[in-house]
Amino acid sequence: MSENETIELPIDKMNPGTDQPVLEIVELNKSFGNQEILKNISLTLYKGENLVVLGKSGSGKSVLIKCIVGLLKPDSGTINVLDKNVTSLNSKELNELRQKIGFLFQSGALYDSMTVKQNIEFPLRRIKKGLTEKQVQDKVHEVLENVDLVDSLNKMPSELSGGMRKRISLARTIAVDPLIMLYDEPTTGLDPVTSDEISSLILDVQKKYKTSSIIITHDMKCAQKTANRMMMIKDGLIYKEGKAEEFMNSTDSYIRSFSM
Partner 1 sequence: MNKFIPVGQIKNFATKQTVRLSNETFVKKKEAANFLTDIADVFLFITRIIKETFSVNFEFREFMRQCFQIGYKSLPLISITGAIMGLVLTIQSRPVLVDFGAVTLLPGMVALSLIREMGPVITALICAGKIGSGMGAELGSMKVTEQIDAMEVSSINPIKYLLVTRVLAATIMIPILTLYADAFGIFGSWAGANIKGNVSFTLFFAQAFAPVEFIDLIPAVIKSFFFGAVIGLVGCYKGYNAGSGTQSVGKAANSAVVLGSLLVFIVDMIAVQITDIITS
| Residue ranges that bind partner 1, judged by CB under 8 A | 66, 69, 71, 95-96, 98-99, 101, 103, 105-107, 109-112, 122-123, 126-127, 176
Q: Hey, is 52 helix, strand or coil?
A: strand
Residue 98 or 117 having the CB closest to partner 1? 98
**Minimal distance in Å, beta carbon 108 to partner 1?**
9
Least Å distance, CB 185 to partner 1, is 12
Per-residue DSSP letters for 183-218? EESTTTT--HHHHHHHHHHHHHHHHHH--EEEEEES
Alpha-carbon gap, residue 144 to 141, rounded angstroms = 5
Nearer to partner 1, 71 or 145 (CB): 71
Report the residue number, 80 or 250, with the smaller CB distance to partner 1: 80
Dist. CA 61–CA 195, nearest whole Å = 19
| Closest CB 131 distance from partner 1, rounded Å | 15
Taking the complex as a whole, the smallest distance from the CB of residue 88 to partner 1 amounts, in Å, to: 18
Helix %, strand %, coil % for the chain, to 5?
Answer: 40, 25, 35
Shortest spacing between CB 83 and partner 1, in angstroms: 18
Dihedral class, residue 231 (left if φ above 0, else alpha if ψ from -120 to 50, else beta): beta
Give whichever of 117 and 225 is closer to partner 1, judged by the CB atom. 117
Between 110 and 198, name the residue whose CB sits nearer to partner 1: 110
DSSP β-bridge partners for residue 43 = 25
Least distance from C-beta 71 to partner 1, angstroms?
Answer: 6
Nearer to partner 1, 118 or 250 (CB): 118
20 vs 71, beta carbon nearer partner 1 = 71
With CA atoms as reference, report the closest residue to 154 among 181, 121, 177, 182.
121
Bridge-partner residues for 54, per DSSP?
217, 232
Minimum distance from CB of 184 to partner 1 (Å)?
9
Backbone phi and psi for residue 18, each to the nearest 5 degrees, phi listed first: -95, 180
Per-position b or e across 36-59, b if 16+ CB within 10 A of its CB: bbbbebebbbbbbbbbbbbbeeeb
